[in-house]
Structure 1
Amino acid sequence: MVDRFLVWFGVCLATAWMSTAALIGAGVAAAEDDSGPDGTTSSESADSPDSQQDSTKPNPEAENLSNDPADSKDPAGPKEKNADETEDAGETEGDVDEEEAGEEEPGEEEPVEEPAANESTGKKDGSDTVETGSVTPKRNALTVENGTADEGQQEKAATVETEAETEAGELTVDPVLQAVERQSVNLDIPAADLIDAPEVAAVAFAAAPSAAAASAAATAPPLTVLLDVIGTVVFNLYALATRLIGGPAVLPPGSNVTVRSSTLRIDCGCADGQGFDVPADWYIPETEEGEEPPQRLIYLQHGFLASGPWYSHTAAALAEQTNSIVVAPSITSNFLDAEACWLGAAPMHEALAKLFDADNTALADSALAAGYTGAIPSRVVLMGHSLGGGAVSGMAGYMTDNETDGRLAGVVLLDGVGLNGAMAADLDKVSLSIPIYQLAAPRYFWNQDGVGTTALLQARPGEYVGVTLVGGSHVDSMRGGNPLIQFSQQLVSGFSTPQNVAAAQQIMVGWVNDMFSGDQATGLYEDDLDEPISTPAGDAIAVALPNSLTKPFFLNFLQPFVSLGDGLFTFDPACVAASTGRSASGSCSASLAA
């Protein structure tokens, strides 16, 4: 986990933005509906398109009923009134302002025939009222069918009825109006709470499933939307800076590998078909004329706040020494993304796993755009460093769920770190016939006290799961061609010894070759640990996992305080709430794990 200091910077920045929003006024925030990128409000997403009435536009029917006395009658026509009812209504309506309530003057109604009673409800056809006493009060038109109503019309109707009840002394509060008002504000109210109005509750909740098509922001609370905007701005600027400073992928001298860059389509988002393109570097081993193109594929995933070109020397060595095509995409680390489409969250892991579906051409299209015209190999090794190790663990789990794990030759974790406690469950899904190994540094702050190793041991108790390099660093396997990036990562994570850097490369190459060949001929295993690892830079020592090795480091004292950031990282998208018709705050969680 590199440069975690940006987490604290994000907290301070978010606090400043929230303070500014509070000064603007909570009343303004409450008055505005949450809306998604397509402009759909949360109330709109809860109603079906055919029956929904846009509350932001004028309601001609309601205006006519409130301003024209003739339109205050029921849609099916006026009802007959007895003499007492007419007299009481006259007394009541005479004291109510005609423009405000839209009521008729006493004596202006003419007796007509009553409409036929509705057989299913016992109400009269066309009537939107329920008789609660000797007088049936009128009110402004409400959209009862949709469970919604214009707030101004509701308040006006409630005021008229209250005044009428006070003066007449014979009216009771209409329970249907109360239920409609409650229903229009909050669709979460249980049906049992809608007193005497089962019809309204049934119709309103029947419309709720249409909210499943809403985008994440359509149900997200204002704070989630605000943090999403902040994260987008900050991490876009960060990505731009890393591209300018880090530069493109640079090969080591004398390499027989070709590297070219393109973009890779990732289908991640709340809406069907939603996604985006990310940068991707392709490392292709050179082949002699008449030789077969590479039949192996390595998916190499960078760590938190890093990018693909920072691993260019590692990727080139893997491509050359295993005769594999290596693809290294650059995925955002924007942990404030409302749709949870970032490196550490399950929605991104699931989307990356789908790259290996039979009908997904994203990898082939990306390779073709990078100039490679051959077929994409069917067998793949997933390899990830730091948080990228957590990402490929999630990918392996989802490939198992998708029944595409037949393409998976193995998983290599380069001091892998998982978040949100999901890594062990992801790895546990993978068949024991598929090898998973961890090349770890001793436990210290940058691998979060060995959280990835702990997860792997939980998923595969009693199995050989890899080694720790004695005196190793979190960035032993992270080699690139930019001297500034190399020095910076060594400075913040601890300097690597040359023999450990060379040993890390030998170990990962041996494991990958054995994963593709299906044997244990060249990798490092338990029987090989009695002797030091001989490298051109000197001997290195590896110890099998688990072990008690730790690394002294000046930032280790911060480890107990990491949990204080709980709630900062987003792991569940706001669209999870949209699928159930609930508010995002009610079903989505966000937490910072080690």
Structure 2
Amino acid sequence: MVIIQRLLVAIGLSAAATAFTAPATHAQSTATKVENTVEIRCAFTMLRQSSDWYFPAGTPKALLWLQHGFASSNDAVDETARKFAAQGFLVFSPTLPTANIFGCTVENLANNTNFLHNVADLFGKSADPGDKLGRSFADAKKKAGRPDMALPNAKVFAGHSAAGEAVPYVTQVLRADYAAAFGSVRGLILFDPVKSFLGNNLSSSLNHLSNTTLPILAISAPPYSCNRDGNGTEELIEQISRPFRGVRLTSGSHIDVEASSAPAPDKVNCGTPQAKNVSALQTLAIAWAGDFVTGAPTADYYPGGTYYEAQRSAGTIQTLQ
């Protein structure tokens, strides 16, 4: 399991000798999108949720779970999902409910912990092709014309807004209940995470995960109403004591990860994503995710690296502190 401290040590040793390489999102290949459903338990019922799968051109380097935020859907992260797939990730992007009488929601509106355990169950049993995630994948790869593709063992989890809380919670459930599956998670990327009004899902999960070597990085916007004054990012900074925890987009919007896929109401309420911020977010996130999988840092995308320092000098990013 790669740890962020090791990444930074390696960066420090190699940064001076590493030539600048083009941002990861510039060299893209074709990705194929398939829409289907995935089953997730909800109390005594079974939800059949919309799920999007994005297939890379070749053998996937890892499975990337990309989860939308509160009051949204998988359509909102379509552009960023395509960017990840173009760089070799098999992307799984389900829609999770915003409202549900049994508390089966992406944000903790009452008590969604049982539901998040059921979401964790998808990944905890992902090695079983006959279980829920395996069945959804089998259907998707058939539709994509990729019948021989195997579901990658390596996993990277990424969540936006309220899913920036749900993703760490699910990861901690894997750690507690599905040791083998947790061992396959290479790292987390949180896109402007937001802490729920109720409960302590974010603080408790980050607190537990801080005792592991799992990389956890954020790309956040400045504090304002759409991210509840940056409460999720502040929780990350408080709970995760590591040399590098990610960046803040200095003129960013809460919905930068949605990019051109952002629905009109999101842009009205939270601000239209700027191209420079979208580019920085996608470039850094894809590079970091790739490094999580390989365990080898690409110096350009961390403090001291050419791309990173160019973005910082331009005023696009600040290092989270």
With normalisation by structure 1, the TM-score equals 0.44
Residue 357 of structure 1 deviates from its aligned partner by 2.0
Residue 522 of structure 1 deviates from its aligned partner by 5.1
Alignment of 1:525 onto 2:305: no
Which structure 2 residues correspond to residues 294-313 of structure 1 after superposition, within 5 A? 294-313=60-79
Alignment-derived partner of residue 96 in structure 2: 331
Q: Which of 384, 400, 412 is 2:159 aligned to? A: 384
Distance 1:437 1:523 in 2: 16
Q: Which of 33, 45, 48 is 1:259 aligned to? A: 33
Alignment of 1:341 onto 2:97: no
- Is the Cα–Cα contact under 8 Å of residues 255 and 316 in structure 1 kept in the other structure? no
Alignment of 1:401 onto 2:201: no
Which structure 2 residues correspond to residues 11-50 of structure 1 after superposition, within 5 A? none
- State the SS of the aligned residue for 2:259: coil
Higher relative contact order (CA 8 A, sep 6+): 2
Residue 486 of structure 1 deviates from its aligned partner by 4.2
Runs of 4+ in 1 over 4 A off after TM superposition: none
Q: Name the Cα RMSD after superposition.
A: 2.2
- State the SS of the aligned residue for 2:258: coil
Q: 424-433 vs 507-516, which deviates more?
A: 424-433
Post-superposition Cα deviations, 1:464-520, rounded to whole Å, max 9, x if no partner, equal 211101111111111245xxx544322210233221111111111111011101122
Distance 1:418 1:396 in 2: 16
Identity of aligned residues (%): 27
1:295–1:514 distance in 2 versus 1, CA, 3 Å: closer
AA aligned to 1:256 is T
Alignment of 1:449 onto 2:229: yes
Distance 1:277 1:524 in 2: 38
Residue 332 of structure 1 deviates from its aligned partner by 0.6
AA aligned to 1:275 is M
Alignment-derived partner of residue 488 in structure 1: 265
Distance 1:364 1:489 in 2: 33
How many residues are paired up? Answer: 276
| Structure 1: unaligned runs, 5 residues or longer | 1-253, 288-292, 547-594
Larger radius of gyration: 1
- Is the Cα–Cα contact under 8 Å of residues 120 and 174 in structure 2 kept in the other structure? yes
Q: Which of 100, 109, 122 is 1:355 aligned to? A: 122
Q: Which of 205, 218, 242 is 1:438 aligned to? A: 218
AA aligned to 1:317 is K
- Is the Cα–Cα contact under 8 Å of residues 412 and 438 in structure 1 kept in the other structure? yes
Distance 2:208 2:243 in 1: 15
Distance 1:462 1:265 in 2: 36
AA aligned to 1:520 is P
- Is the Cα–Cα contact under 8 Å of residues 466 and 545 in structure 1 kept in the other structure? yes
Residue 524 of structure 1 deviates from its aligned partner by 3.0
1:532–1:313 distance in 2 versus 1, CA, 3 Å: same
AA aligned to 1:379 is A
- Is the Cα–Cα contact under 8 Å of residues 116 and 170 in structure 2 kept in the other structure? yes
Residue 462 of structure 1 deviates from its aligned partner by 4.5
Which structure 2 residues correspond to residues 532-547 of structure 1 after superposition, within 5 A? 532-533=310-311, 539=314, 541-546=316-321
Post-superposition Cα deviations, 1:376-411, rounded to whole Å, max 9, x if no partner, equal 111111101111111111111111111231011100
Residue 540 of structure 1 deviates from its aligned partner by 5.2
Distance 1:462 1:381 in 2: 19
Distance 2:84 2:308 in 1: 26
Which structure 2 residues correspond to residues 281-292 of structure 1 after superposition, within 5 A? 281-287=52-58
- State the SS of the aligned residue for 2:304: helix
AA aligned to 1:389 is G
AA aligned to 1:401 is A
With normalisation by structure 2, the TM-score equals 0.80
